[in-house]
Structure 1
Amino acid sequence: MNASDLQKLTEWLIDGARSAPSPPAMMAQTCERLVAAGLPLSRVGIFVRTLHPDIVGRNFVWKQGGEVVVGSANYEMLDSEEFRASPLAIVFAEGREIRARMDGPDGNRFPIFADLREEGTTDYIALPLLNVDGSVHASSWTTKQPGGFTDAQLKALRELIPPLSRLIEVTRLRFMSTILLDTYVGNRAGERIMHGQIRRGHTETMDAAIWLSDLRGFTALSDRLPAETVVDILNQYFDCQVSAIATHGGEVLKFMGDGLLAVFPIDEYIGDTTKVCTQALGAAREARANVEAMQFPIGEAVERFRFGVALHVGKILYGNIGGGNRLDFTCIGPAVNLAARLEKMAGRLHRTVVTSRAFADACPDGWEELGEFPIAGFSKAERVYGLADETAEAYAPQPALYSSGSVVNSSG
C-alpha cells in the first residue's frame, strides 16, 4: 500500500473533503482513493442513523466500478429478522467491530455472508463510526482478494475510521438540521432559516394563494373519543391534505388543532397568479376527495368525515414573529385574516370549498356566487363563492347512526 496516498486521503477528510459536493461524492472519492492507494475493496457500505418521522437512517453503498447507491430504512426495519440477524445490529448495539473471513470459522455466522460468498467476497469487516455525541453508526468493508485483507490493510482501514467518522458526523448534523426544519416549519421556510433568516421581525412581503381548513365536528369528536384515537384520526385527516398541497406546489406552514394553514407562493416561484390559484384549487379538489374517502372504524361503526377549506389570494407578511427567543416562522396580514373568516363561513354555508372574489376572479373555474356577507373586523362585505359542482344539500349534516355496521357522520 502507498502510505503517502493514505496520508493525503486522511488530510483530505480532515479538511472536509472539499472536492466532494455531496455525501455520495465524498464516499465515491474516498473508496476510489483507497483502491488507488492499494486497498483491494470490492464493496463498502456506510449506515447512518438520523432524525426523521418516517426513516430511521440512510445507507450509502459503493461497489467497485459502479455508482454510490443511496437508500433509506424505515423504523420497521429495526424489528425485522433480516436486521436482527445481521452483523450491523451488533455494531449499532455494542459499538464494536465484526470481522469474518468467508472461508474461516465465522464464515457462516450471519445469513448475509452466504450472499457475499456468491459474489466472490473473501473477507468482511464491519467497523463502528463513533460520533462525539455518543451515537453509533456503522460501516462495512469487503474484498475479493484471495486470502482476504492483510493485517496492514486492516490497520489502514481502522486508522481511516476516526477522520471519516468526524466528517460523517458533520454531514449528518447538517442533514438532520435540514430534515427537522422541513418537518416542523416546511421546506421553503426551512431554507430561509438555514440561510440566516432567524432574527425576530425578519419578514418579507409576498403574494400568495392562502389555504385555511379545518375538520367539521372536531369538538364533538374529541369529546366522545379517547385522545389516542383522536390523534390517529387527525394524522390520517392531515395526510389527506398535506400530500395534495405539496403535489400542487404549496407549503404547509402550521397545524392548529384540527386546522391547517398553507400558502402557494406566487412572486418568487412562478409569478403567474392564475396558475398558482389553479394549483391551489386542484389541491382542494384532491383533498376533498381524499377526506370523503376517509373511513375510520370506531367499535362496530365506521366514522366518516367532512372538512372545509377557504381559498384566498393576496399579499402576506412571511417570516419570524414571536416573543423573546421563541419565534414562529409564519404568515400574517389582512389576507390571512380574511381567509380565516371565510373558512368559518364554509361550515355555516355547508360547503367544502369556498373562496373570496379575488381568488374566483384569478381562477374562474366553475364557481357560483353564494352571496355577499359582512366579515367581522372588515369594513366591507365580501362576496363568497363556492364550487358549482358542490351543492349545500350534499354537504349538509346527516343524522348520526351508531348501530352495528353503521356509518357515523362527523360533519356539522
Structure 2
Amino acid sequence: MPTPLAPPADLDDLPGWIARHATEVADGGALLEALGLALNAAGLPVSRLSIGAPSIDPAHRGITAVWRRGRGVALTATAHGPEGQAEFDRSPIAALKAEGHARGRWNLEAGEGCNRFRSMAEARAEGGTDYLMHLIRFPPGLAIAGAGLSHVTDRPGGFAEADVARIERHLPAFGLAVLRLCLSKTLNGLLGAYLGPRAAGRVMSGQIRRGQGELMSAAILLVDLKGFTAAADREDPHRLVGWLDEHLDALGLGVEPCGGEILKFTGDGFIAVFPVRDGSALPCGVCGRALEAARTGLAHNRLLAERRRVAGEPALAADLALHYGDVVYGNVGTANRLDFTAIGRAVNEASRIETLCDATGRHILMSDSFARRCGAGLIDLGTFPLRGVAARQRLWTVPEA
C-alpha cells in the first residue's frame, strides 16, 4: 500500500502541492490518496477516487488505481486482448470518449449508470450518491492519450456546484502529475521488458556510454530451438511468431524464479545469465539454480511440443547449453545504437557447446567448469573439440536430457 503524503492545509494550495510532489515521488497511489485526504480535510466528502490510464506494457493495456476513504488504494491492470478491450468498452471513460465529452456526471442515488457501469454499481453499493468523471487529455503523438479521473461522494444530494468548481481547479495540476508518472512508469517498464530488470536498472542509473561495463563471473544459459528455420520456410509468418513466443515462454519459465535474467533473444533462442558473487563457494548454488532453470525450461517445452504434435502443428525441440566463466556486462554497439548485454569468451564457448547437442544426442550440455560447480548426479559424456578452442573440452549432461 502506498505511503500517504501529508495533504496541504488549504485546498487552494492543492495545485501547487501536486506540482511539487509530482517531481519528488514515483507513487501514483500515494498521490491519489493524498488528494482524497486533502479534499475531505477541506470539507468536501469524497468517498472514492479513481484514476485510469492506458499503459505501454507488454503485459497489460491499462492501469486503474482506486482510493476508498478508510481503505487505501487498490491497483488493477487490464489485460491485452479481446477481454481487456471488452472491459474498457464497458467503462465510463470509453463512453465519454465515444460521446465526445470531457466530463460526465451520474446521480447514483437515482441509480444512473449503475446498470451500465460496474464501477458505478460498486460505488453506489458503498454508499456513493454522486459520480463525477473528467477526461484528462495528454499531448498528441503519445500512445498514452490521456486518463480518466473520477470523484465520488457519499453525501446525501451529491456534490454542490461549488464542490465541482473546487474539484476542477486541481485537474490541470493533477493531470500533469499523472502524465509525469505515466511516462516514468512507461520508461522503466519498457526498459525492463526489452533489456531485463537488472540491465534496465543500470541504464536508468546512467550507464549509457559505449564501453561502460562490469566484469563478473556468471553461469550462462544458452537456448536454441531446433527446426525453426525449416518451419519458417513452410508456415504462415504470423502463426509462426505466435508459436515461437509460446516456446520461448516455456523455455524461459524457470530463469527469473531461479535468479537469472534473459539478456538477449537470438531470433529462435536466448541467452540468460546468473551472476555469481562468490566464485569460491562449492557447490555453487547459483549454478545449481541455473541447471534447475534449464531442466524446467526443457520439461515445459517438451509438454508444449507434444501438444503441438497432437494439434498437427510443428513441434519445436530445444537444445540448451550451460557454461561458467567471466563476462563483461555492459554496453556494446555503435556510437548511437547500443545493446546492454553480456559478452566475452565464455559466451562464445557456450554457443560452441550448444552446437554439439546433435552430435551427442542430448538436449542439455554442460561444460566441465560448470558441472564441477554443481555437485553429483551428472553424466560424463567425454571430451569434444570446440571450434576456436585449442584443448578438447569435457561435457556433461543430465539423465532426462
Q: How high is the TM-score relative to the length of structure 2?
A: 0.90
Cα distance in 2 between the residues matched to 1:365 and 1:312:
16
Aligned to 2:269: 259
Q: How many residues align?
A: 388
Aligned to 2:182: 172
Aligned to 1:404: none
Aligned to 1:161: 171
Alpha-carbon deviation of 1:221? Answer: 1.7
For the Cα contact (< 8 Å) 2:47–2:68, is it kept in 1?
Answer: yes
Unpaired runs of 5+ residues, structure 1, are 391-412
Deviation larger for 192-201 or 373-382:
373-382
For the Cα contact (< 8 Å) 2:282–2:373, is it kept in 1?
Answer: no
Aligned to 2:116: 110
For the Cα contact (< 8 Å) 2:261–2:273, is it kept in 1?
Answer: yes
Cα distance in 1 between the residues matched to 2:57 and 2:280:
30
Percent identity reads 34
Per the alignment, do residues 307 and 324 of structure 1 end up closer, same or farther by CA in structure 2, a change over 3 Å counting?
Answer: same
Cα distance in 2 between the residues matched to 1:100 and 1:269:
64
| Alignment-mate amino acid for residue 212 of structure 1 | L
Taking the TM superposition and a 5 Å limit, the aligned residue runs for 1:354-365 are 354-365=365-376
RMSD over aligned CA atoms reads 2.5
Alpha-carbon deviation of 1:148? Answer: 0.5
Per the alignment, do residues 213 and 185 of structure 1 end up closer, same or farther by CA in structure 2, a change over 3 Å counting?
Answer: same
For the Cα contact (< 8 Å) 1:216–1:347, is it kept in 2?
Answer: no
Aligned to 1:315: 326
For the Cα contact (< 8 Å) 2:248–2:269, is it kept in 1?
Answer: no
Per the alignment, do residues 270 and 183 of structure 1 end up closer, same or farther by CA in structure 2, a change over 3 Å counting?
Answer: farther
For the Cα contact (< 8 Å) 2:92–2:117, is it kept in 1?
Answer: no
Deviations 1:122-176 (A, max 9, x none): 1011111222346121111111111100111101111111100111111111100
For the Cα contact (< 8 Å) 2:253–2:296, is it kept in 1?
Answer: no
1:35 alignment partner, one of 32, 36, 40: 40
2:102 alignment partner, one of 96, 104, 129: 96
SS in 2 for 1:15: helix
Per the alignment, do residues 66 and 269 of structure 1 end up closer, same or farther by CA in structure 2, a change over 3 Å counting?
Answer: farther
The 4+ residue runs of structure 1 with deviation greater than 6 A are 268-273
Deviation larger for 294-303 or 166-175:
294-303
Per the alignment, do residues 218 and 246 of structure 1 end up closer, same or farther by CA in structure 2, a change over 3 Å counting?
Answer: same
Cα distance in 2 between the residues matched to 1:246 and 1:309:
16
| Alignment-mate amino acid for residue 172 of structure 1 | C
Cα distance in 2 between the residues matched to 1:270 and 1:280:
17
SS in 2 for 1:245: coil
Taking the TM superposition and a 5 Å limit, the aligned residue runs for 1:180-199 are 180-199=190-209
Per the alignment, do residues 223 and 34 of structure 1 end up closer, same or farther by CA in structure 2, a change over 3 Å counting?
Answer: same
Alpha-carbon deviation of 1:115? Answer: 3.9
1:353 aligns with 2:353: no
1:324 aligns with 2:331: no
Cα distance in 2 between the residues matched to 1:188 and 1:261:
14
Alpha-carbon deviation of 1:220? Answer: 1.7
Alpha-carbon deviation of 1:314? Answer: 0.8
Per the alignment, do residues 270 and 261 of structure 1 end up closer, same or farther by CA in structure 2, a change over 3 Å counting?
Answer: farther
Unpaired runs of 5+ residues, structure 2, are 1-6
Aligned to 1:6: 11
Taking the TM superposition and a 5 Å limit, the aligned residue runs for 1:203-222 are 203-222=213-232
Q: How high is the TM-score relative to the length of structure 1?
A: 0.88
Aligned to 2:392: 381
Cα distance in 2 between the residues matched to 1:114 and 1:368:
63
Deviation larger for 99-108 or 369-378:
99-108
Cα distance in 1 between the residues matched to 2:116 and 2:232:
49
